[in-house]
Chain A
Amino acid sequence: MSLQILVLAALDGIAYGALVFLVAVGMTLVFGVMRILNVAHGSFYALGAYAAASLGIAMAGMGLSPWLAFPMFIVAAAVVGITVGGLMERFLLQRIYGYEETLQLLVTFAVFMMLENVQRLVWGVQPYFYSDPLRQLGNVNVAGITYTAYQTLFLPLVALAVLFGLRFFLRYTLAGSVIVAVTEDREAATAIGINARRVFFLTFVIGVTLASLGGALASPTTSVLPGMGAEMIVLSFAVAATAGLGQIEGAAIAALLIGLGRSMAVFFAPEFEVVMPYLIMVLVLLIRPEGLFGKTTARKI
Chain B
Amino acid sequence: MLDLKNLHVSIASTPILRGVNLTVGHGETVAFVGRNGAGKTTTLRATMGLVASTGDIVLDGRAIDKVPAHERPGLGIGYAPEDRRLFSAFTVEENIRLPARVANLSGDETKRRLDRVYSILPELKEMGPRPAGSVSGGQGKMVALGRALMLGTKLVLLDEPFQGLAPVLANRYAEALRALRDQDRSLSLIITESNPGLLKSFAERIVTIERGEIQQSELVEAVH
Contact = CB atoms under 8 A, between A and B. Distances in A.
To the question of whether A and B form a pair in one complex, the answer is yes
Interface of A: 174, 177-178, 180-181, 184-185, 187-196
A193 B90 contact: no
Given A177-B98, A181-B98, A196-B70, A191 B87 contact: no
Given A187-B50, A188-B85, A188-B87, A178 B69 contact: no
Contacts of A180: 87, 89-90
Interface stretch (B99-107, B122-130, B162-170, B179-187): B99-107
Interface of B: 48-50, 68-71, 73-74, 79, 81, 85-90, 94, 98-99, 101-103, 147, 150-151
B87 A195 contact: no
Contacts of A174: 101-102
Contacts, number: 58
A151 B118 CA distance: 54
B50 A193 contact: no
B218 to A, nearest CB: 29
A81 to B, nearest CB: 24
A180 B88 CA distance: 10
Contacts of B71: 193
B85 A194 contact: no
B117 to A, nearest CB: 14
A191 B98 contact: no
B88 to A, nearest CB: 7
Which 6 A/B pairs are nearest by Cβ-Cβ distance? A188-B85, A192-B99, A193-B73, A195-B70, A193-B102, A191-B79
Given A174-B102, A177-B101, A185-B85, A191 B90 contact: no
A192 B99 CA distance: 5
18 contacts: A174-B101, A177-B94, A180-B87, A181-B89, A184-B89, A188-B81, A188-B85, A189-B87, A190-B48, A191-B73, A191-B79, A191-B81, A192-B102, A193-B70, A193-B151, A194-B70, A195-B68, A195-B70
